[in-house]
Chain A
Amino acid sequence: MSFPWAKAYEPKAPLMRFLDERLPLPRFVYNAVGAGYPVPRNLSYFWNFGILAGFCLVLQIVTGVVLAMHYSANALVAFNSVEHIMRDVNWGWMLRYAHANGASFFFVVVYIHIFRGLFYSSYKAPREMIWLLGVVIFLLMMATAFMGYVLPWGQMSFWGAKVITGLFGAIPLVGEPLQIWLLGGYAPDNAALNRFYSLHFLLPFVIAGVVILHIWALHIPGSSNPTGVEVKSESDTVPFHPYYTAKDGFGLGVFLIIYTLFVFFLPNALGHPDNYIPANPLSTPAHIVPEWYFWPFYAILRAFTSDFLLPAKLWGVLAMFSAILCWFFLPWLDRSPVRSGHYRPLFRKFFLFGLIPCMAVLFWCGGAPAEEPYVMLSQIATAYYFLHFLVILPIVSLVERPEPLPYSITDAVLGTPADDGTVKGHMIQGENARPAV
């Protein structure tokens, strides 16, 4: 894909011309993240997080492959092999902290990326497939991160594995046999550890594959932008390189400063000390929590405390999975033709004062002990969460009167001079929300 004014790749060096005729890989890169990809000129720093997520994936694969050279996936030695990495392997402490904190930062980046998409309705036509693939990536990330956390075989690893596989035990009829099949036993042991290790190594490459589809789908309509108005002419865009390579490079620098602060100065701040106790199948830690990035969904799981038609345990599991699965239906739940939250006053209020505080409460409660007031707070927040996506969003998109949209991205950036010389907004409601073909 591209806009008609996209720069064509014209290799000058004979070697590059030779390569281009036989394997046009440089052309592919040029058109994907080079000067051949025209991008809206008004992207804010919120649009950095896609590249940052890609960087995190590469970071995790590189450090992970290296750690796999030293780790032993055997229940008898796994814990000690992680200590071996920390104490004996050259730079092993750094590589492990880079990988563990890399997972946390991957989720920070991806959460911002997702909520950027939610605020600017990046899931709307013609970008539904990008969004759907993104939700698939998020689910794969959660599976990968969970299985990775099991590998050190500490107390949190073991009990995390037990609790999460226990979720499948809630499924009626087949639940218990399914759980035993998943674990290859009655409790997490060598069989579970080995299959988790195998899948933890495999899934990142599956993610990389879906990421390629995600970017492919992105390049068909091109990037969205903070106004939500589609690109109309060449003046609305700038080439990805050098404009956004520079902007993303700056963002990457800021990201790396914060990330390395954690790796070198707060390496265990985001982890749990109990995971430095070897796995003990006979003793559950007093306060068992998943990694912080699962807390909102963990809070939803625990919000269901009494049986109502179905057992509470099943409700919790269904709600937890539905909390993410409902994102798949977003493109069809939100019917507003206007994309950007900047031009949707009612949506903006519900997003900033409804969804964001709701997620904050879920984060807080997921990491808190399962006692009052956290249980009641998670119940209220869980109710709002589903209400927001399934009821509020469709209704708001029907009743809301959006604010005037700029005619084009260029107008949004430079303003439209009127006859009297003043600059004013310009809109025909809804008209600019559809892509210019």
Chain B
Amino acid sequence: MASTTGAAPDDAMTTDGDSGTHPVRRRDFINIAAVSAAGVGGLAVLYPLISQMAPSKDVLAESTTELDLSAIQPGQAVKAVFRKQPVFIRNLTPQEIAAADAVDVSSLRDPQTLAERTKAGHGNWLITMGVCTHLGCVPLGAGEGENKGEFGGYFCPCHGSHYDTAARIRKGPAPTNLLVPEYEFTTDTTVVIG
């Protein structure tokens, strides 16, 4: 076997004894079966090793947040926490609703009406994630005296995105409106996010 001359590639098959003549040897079957079993086993081990990095059960358990809205006056906004991220809950004034409805929807970057971004019967409650859709900073405007931007909604200080009173993107680099999370009103003043 310790040949000094390199075997030609087509010789390689015949040097292995009987492999050239037999169609399928018992050893071929064993070889394929063993390597396949090892391969499937390896993949089966890989699955938990990857899955362990996904959110754990205690993180998933944080995925609903219940809020009492009764203390929020018209014109006021609060920040809540949903999945370790801020949520803006804003009680819109009639003027703010009118300002949002007055905009020509087709002129928007991400066309949506205010009604599409609120729940029927609760049209004054604008609930959005407080996460700028550009690169994830928290926009200003929910707190007392913060800069609300040129359109009276929210303003992201990181890269200068301006959102209007329906939290729609109006100016700046952000691609879409502030995300409206899934939520529902369980009573007139209680909302469950997530």
Contacts and interface: CB of A to CB of B under 8 A. Distances in A.
B58 to A, nearest CB: 4
Interface of A: 5-7, 10, 12, 62, 66, 69-70, 84, 87-92, 94-95, 234, 249
A44 to B, nearest CB: 21
B interface majority secondary structure: helix
A84 B48 contact: no
Contact of B54 (A6, A12, A90): A90
A87 B59 CA distance: 12
B6 interface: yes
A12 B51 contact: no
Interface of B: 1-2, 6, 9, 34, 38, 48-49, 51-54, 56-59
A66 to B, nearest CB: 6
A65 to B, nearest CB: 10
Given A84-B56, A84-B58, A249-B34, A90 B6 contact: no
A94 B56 contact: no
11 contacts: A62-B49, A84-B56, A88-B57, A89-B56, A89-B57, A90-B48, A90-B54, A90-B56, A91-B48, A92-B52, A249-B38
A69 B52 contact: yes
A234 B6 CA distance: 19
A95 B56 CA distance: 14
A94 B118 CA distance: 44
A89 B6 CA distance: 54
A93 to B, nearest CB: 10
Given A10-B6, A12-B9, A92 B56 contact: yes
B52 A89 contact: yes
Contacts of B53: 69
A234 B57 contact: no
Given A89-B56, A90-B56, A234 B48 contact: no
A226 B141 CA distance: 80
Contacts of B9: 12
Contacts of A87: 57
A88 B58 contact: yes
A90 B49 contact: no
Nearest to A62: B49
A66 B52 contact: yes
A91 B57 contact: no
A91 B52 contact: yes
B2 A95 contact: no
Contacts of A10: 6
A95 B58 contact: no
Given A84-B58, A87-B57, A249-B34, A66 B49 contact: yes
A110 to B, nearest CB: 22
A265 B56 CA distance: 24
Contacts of A92: 52, 56
Nearest to B61: A88
Contact of B52 (A5, A6, A70, A84): A70
B2 A7 contact: yes
B6 A94 contact: no
B52 A95 contact: yes
* Nearest 5 interchain pairs by C-beta: A91-B48, A88-B57, A88-B56, A88-B58, A90-B51
A89 B57 CA distance: 6
A62 B52 CA distance: 13
A234 B1 CA distance: 10
A52 to B, nearest CB: 15
A6 B49 CA distance: 39
Given A66-B52, A90-B57, 4 more contacts: A7-B2, A87-B57, A94-B48, A249-B38
Contacts of A249: 34, 38
B127 to A, nearest CB: 28
Nearest to A89: B56
Contacts of A234: 2
A70 B58 CA distance: 12
A90 B52 contact: yes
Contact of B51 (A7, A84, A91): A91
Contacts of B38: 249
Contacts of A66: 49, 52
A95 B48 contact: yes
A257 to B, nearest CB: 11
Contacts of A91: 48-49, 51-52
A87 B57 CA distance: 8
Contact of B2 (A5, A89, A94): A5
Most chain A beta carbons < 10 A, residue from B38, B52, B57: B52
Contacts of B56: 70, 84, 88-90, 92
B79 to A, nearest CB: 27
Most chain A beta carbons < 10 A, residue from B34, B48, B57, B59: B48
A72 to B, nearest CB: 13
